[in-house]
Amino acid sequence: MIIGSISENISFEKRVALTPDIIKKYKSLGLDVYLSKDYAIHLGIADEEYEEEGASILEKEEVLKKSNAIVQMNILSDENLDKLSEGQILIGVLNPYSNKKKLELISTKKVKCFSLELLPRITRAQSMDILSSQANLAGYKAVIDSFSHFQKAIPMMMTAAGTISAAKVLIVGAGVAGLQAIATAKRMGAIVFATDVRLASKEQVESLGGKFLIVEGAENLETEGGYAKEASDEFKIKQEELLKETLKKIDIVICTALIPGKKAPIIIKKDMIDVMSNGSVIYDLAASQGGNSELTKAGEIIDNNGVKIMGEVNILNKLPISASNLYAKNLFNFTSNLFNKDKKYFEFNLEDEIIEKTMVK
């Protein structure tokens, strides 16, 4: 059996699905690995490094034709999808909510698709959880980037000439990315506040040294799977009042609030941004799904009376090596679960919640 991967469109995606250190693990399962030429050359990884670990380097068309399973970061282009044939498997972050037509086309070819962002949040799936591994890096990098655009020092500094106050940071959304952002901002000396619709986040935020902002009369808005769900209109009004008052003293806002498969909730309205101090920064990790800020524009930096609103589209392109290393391990753990090691073929056991939930039907 053969597992293959072709290079991504690096103008959009610099991460890769397979790193040299993971090739031996696939070989130990009894799988051959085929990669397209110059697979990760943009990351400084030559084809020879993959070959030394046991991978074969072929033309892109040959990889797509001969592989039983194709593993990618993102869904293939239309041109490459046309090259798939019946019985093959496609695994990656396929984003079925945005790529519905593409996936319908693939299904007519009888290609089995697995989208890793649909993984259930169960203990057995933790080692495969790409949302957590990638969000951890995103939360860290969002803090670093936003601080680089803030034109004051972050920690409190006491000097003979006077004292510089610590920067005040607000994290919107205390999921994996938000919690890492809190930890990173605290390590750099900021005073950190956080808000989330899930009351269970309060203890996690406070354990990292952040102050949790509680909306009066709030109820826990968390799904059984551990994700945030849509808030009521009454909750949103109370949240807006609390945030508007808080933002008067905040220097940097990092937005991370997302609801899987839906447009990002708009949490920071224009009238809230208007009360922020000149020189403040809003860094919106939810920009690709519309943004948590009303003024966010994907891929752009907007200036609103001296307040910068940064619409980050793919922050992990700024950490592609670290992100690829983690993604490749998540992907191997998922593929290993899908592969019958005794019979040496891919098996679709729909009684396995991991396989059943990630299969795009």
Instruction: Decide if domain 2-118+319-352 falls under CATH 3.40.50.720.
Output: yes
Which is higher by pLDDT, 199 or 48?
48
pLDDT by residue (tens digit) across 50-77? 999 999 999 999 999 999 999 999 999 9
Among residues 126, 165, 207, 232, which one is catalytic? Answer: 126
pLDDT tens-place string over residues 288-299: 889 999 999 999
Catalytic residue chosen out of the listed positions 227, 277, 322, 336: 227
Confirm whether 121 is a catalytic residue: yes
Alpha-carbon distances, residue 15 vs 75, 84, 279, 325 (angstroms): 13, 22, 33, 9
What does the pLDDT read at residue 200? 84
Give the model's pLDDT for residue 341. Answer: 87
- Respond yes or no: is residue 227 known to be catalytic: yes
Dihedral over Cα of 77, 82, 86, 88: its sign: negative
Please give the residue that has the higher pLDDT: either 234 or 14: 14
Whether 2-118+319-352 and 137-317 share one fold: the answer is yes
Query: Which residue of the set 50, 129, 251, 280 is catalytic?
Result: 129
Q: How confident is the model at residue 76, as a pLDDT?
A: 94
Q: Rounded distance, CA 361 to CA 205, Å?
A: 37
pLDDT digits (tens, 9 = 90+) for 176-232: 999 999 999 999 999 999 999 888 899 999 999 999 998 766 565 555 555 555 667
Give pLDDT tens digits for 256-277: 998 766 789 999 999 999 999 9
What is the spatial distance between Cα 250 and Cα 252, in angstroms, rounded to a whole number?
6
Q: Do 151 and 256 form a contact (C-beta atoms < 8 A)?
A: no
Pairing of strands 301-304, 307-311: antiparallel
Based on its alpha-carbon atoms, the radius of gyration of the chain, rounded to whole angstroms, reads 22
Which one is predicted more confidently, 218 or 129? 129
For domain 137-317, give the fold. Rossmann fold (3.40.50)
> What is d(CA 143, CA 73) in angstroms, rounded to the nearest whole number?
24
The domains of the chain are located at 2-118+319-352, 137-317
Q: In the predicted model, what is the mean pLDDT of the chain? A: 92
Report pTM: 0.89
Does residue 82 have an active-site annotation? no
Task: Exactly one of 5, 88, 132, 133 is catalytic; name it.
Answer: 132
Share of the chain above pLDDT 90, in %: 80
Active-site choice (121, 277, 336, 352): 121
